[in-house]
Structure 1
């Protein structure tokens, strides 16, 4: 009997409180959920339907996964006092910090989100465009003709450069290079490192000590930049997020402390680049596989048709779900989609299952940007930025950044794949191309001269 068949014969954890779920050992559930979710979650949906339970510590001892749009909508519309997203994301706390907008709830979340929002509104996005274009142009121009290029690595490099510039306004090459190197070490955390945050004494010995020392060095850089910016005399001429935060907080009764600023900055740096980099890598991989779609996207780029390029990026985000879910922890017994769940339950909106459900997106295995032209998808069926009051602050920034990057690449290079298939690989909390989406690059001028 295969594992999927075995799961289908099992009917819950022996409790009437939770919906049915697999009776696999807790450790097995955790490993399958955290490392093999692209296969595991669809197999559970086939067995149990649109709602099922899991036990997946350290993420959640009691997790209930919802995949139906109406249930997802209930969760997103629920009062923030009943469903704490910050508590549901506590696994991120060891890096993001206790004050992070991703970990705060209720009044603390409203306060921090209100301070951050002006840095990502329409006027701010228009101010970032020339900088994004300049950095994207330089990255695409640096690629070598005929070389096999890791698009995932290139997009990680570019989006990190962009977010460091946007968040900090850092132009010093040495500071930027050190931040890039040290942040990369945080992004690529080996699973064993997580143990050091459960048992802090391990941080005194390798390899945990090296990770802790790296974090301390990042903090030193961040605090140095915060002190420098507070003392700057040209603050009102600066457009980076740090300068904006310090300007805005000066007009509030509760200015952010240095520690609070640090936590917001590290959260923006980490959340604001890896997800976009992975989405772009998957999108470019799909375009490289389909010459006709690539030609259509290139024509749109040459014509300045950002609506089509945005549709391409949105379909890349749907077809390859980079963040598979959002999480909320119940602060009191709550009924969701007819299921009464006890306090402490973590409810999970499955972005992965919603994006791959043929009821939401016909022929979901096909890459079809036209899904996003002319009409928006039905509510709660396309969710790369989450939803409700916790919807990603940087959604508009990510789409603007992504369309500019696609335009710069497509107007310079023709892309072809170097392997028949690319597989999803879970790296920390994101799902990236396992083989780095390696593509072969041909300059458009060379192709025209053939």
Structure 2
């Protein structure tokens, strides 16, 4: 196991990671023959990449209307194909595919410079199996129950500080709340001085511009403009995180601590297979990026939608005050994730040729369901543009029609945490306030996620 001592050069580690982790993520794959693949736009790969990253809410529906249920886009680098499948039976085939053939890590390579090569989202094969095995105990049912009390306390404190009678951007407030949850419940940081140092650096990591994401695998750019600022921010964040990891390993109360970092440090000690400092750093950043803004966005959209419908809000307030009301709050959160997907797609890169939905797809191509289309198909959901939590009350939707956390063996490890957190937050919000939506809103792209363009504005009245 490679531990870092106090003299380690964190700056060098971060710079090496940025130079090593590139957008390509698939140099070992051959050039792909696209001649037999489904139709798609004939634009240059650069334009298709920009459209997919920046204008997804127009691009996905346009492709579906134009080319049908299966279509191909060609992306940087070198016009490598991404084949989208939009029917639930297609998603089932992909999620059930052999994980040694259907690799997820290469499809997430754009996040490599920040997440690091040990990230659960970037690993495949035996490395992924080992990391998931070590992380799973920190997200099982027993662990989630120990986190819930702290999440509830953080949410209750946040809502008491909302100004009554004034318009607020609920997305901003939910970002503040879920960041506290990540720092306190996941990282296990409680010292206010350390929290104050971490908050702006974590926020800068989450708020990176898509243009930076697109080409930050080019080392020459690390010396200029927003790419240099992204690198400097990562160096500063890494220094704080490595210091926290080193100190936590020797904490006298490590065995009693219940935060995720402490659990991950203890995991594997009996067998000697433990996570190194670098592995811990990569997994913590992965949990940060995957679990911070995604949950905040789902909650903000939920407040926005409930604030537009007094009847639904009244029902939610009644559920928040009822010991048996969690089923409705869970349904509200699920409907928010359906109607306003935070992540647009799930992707896998093929290590061998595969036949999917009757189509022969060559090795090296990337395939995946479009979450945006799956959640908005009329044959999956009646009146799909309507916010209706009843869809999820007392039953699950048909298989592979609701896929915000992906599916199969690569389903998001933090899905249970996100749902627990979301229900706890909704409960505290609607026990305390009335919500009225201000204006209208629409999604826009921020880094790899979709967020409310105008912040999901609401006006609250304390009860």
Fold equivalence (TM over 0.5): yes
Alpha-carbon contact 2:111-2:213 (below 8 Å) kept: no
Give the drift of 1:350: 0.8
Instruction: Specify the alignment match of 2:150 in structure 1.
Output: 131
Structure 1 unaligned blocks of 5 or more = 1-12, 445-450
**Structure 1 length-normalised TM:** 0.93
**Is residue 188 from structure 1 mapped to residue 212 from structure 2 by the alignment?**
no
Instruction: Specify the alignment match of 1:244 in structure 2.
Output: 263
The count of residues paired between Structure 1 and Structure 2 equals 431
Instruction: Specify the alignment match of 1:44 in structure 2.
Output: 63
Instruction: Specify the alignment match of 1:168 in structure 2.
Output: 187
Structure 1 segment 371-410 matched on structure 2, within 5 A: 371-410=391-430
Task: Work out the CA distance in 2 between the residues paired with 1:411 and 1:441.
Answer: 12
* Aligned partner (choices 207, 215, 224) of residue 205 of structure 1: 224
Structure 1 segment 19-98 matched on structure 2, within 5 A: 19-57=38-76, 61-98=80-117
Alpha-carbon contact 2:346-2:370 (below 8 Å) kept: yes
Alpha-carbon contact 1:60-1:346 (below 8 Å) kept: no
Task: Work out the CA distance in 2 between the residues paired with 1:331 and 1:411.
Answer: 51
Task: Work out the CA distance in 2 between the residues paired with 1:56 and 1:381.
Answer: 26
Residue-by-residue CA offset, 1:77-125 (whole Å, 9 max, x unaligned): 0110111001111111011000000100011001000111111111001
> What is the alpha-carbon root mean square deviation over aligned residues?
1.6
Alpha-carbon contact 2:53-2:210 (below 8 Å) kept: no
Task: Work out the CA distance in 2 between the residues paired with 1:195 and 1:152.
Answer: 25
Give the drift of 1:58: 5.4
**Is residue 262 from structure 1 mapped to residue 281 from structure 2 by the alignment?**
yes
Instruction: Specify the alignment match of 2:23 in structure 1.
Output: none
Residue-by-residue CA offset, 1:153-197 (whole Å, 9 max, x unaligned): 100110010011122210011211221110111111123423662
Change in Cα spacing, 1:212 to 1:348, as seen in structure 2 (3 Å) is same
Instruction: Specify the alignment match of 2:354 in structure 1.
Output: 334
Alpha-carbon contact 1:58-1:91 (below 8 Å) kept: no
Instruction: Specify the alignment match of 1:293 in structure 2.
Output: 312
**Structure 2 length-normalised TM:** 0.90
Give the drift of 1:373: 1.2
Alpha-carbon contact 2:110-2:214 (below 8 Å) kept: no
**Is residue 347 from structure 1 mapped to residue 376 from structure 2 by the alignment?**
no
**Is residue 415 from structure 1 mapped to residue 459 from structure 2 by the alignment?**
no
Task: Work out the CA distance in 2 between the residues paired with 1:295 and 1:59.
Answer: 53
Task: Work out the CA distance in 1 between the residues paired with 2:394 and 2:279.
Answer: 42
Give the drift of 1:37: 1.1
Structure 2 unaligned blocks of 5 or more = 1-31
**Is residue 99 from structure 1 mapped to residue 118 from structure 2 by the alignment?**
yes
Instruction: Specify the alignment match of 2:388 in structure 1.
Output: 368
Instruction: Specify the alignment match of 1:309 in structure 2.
Output: 329
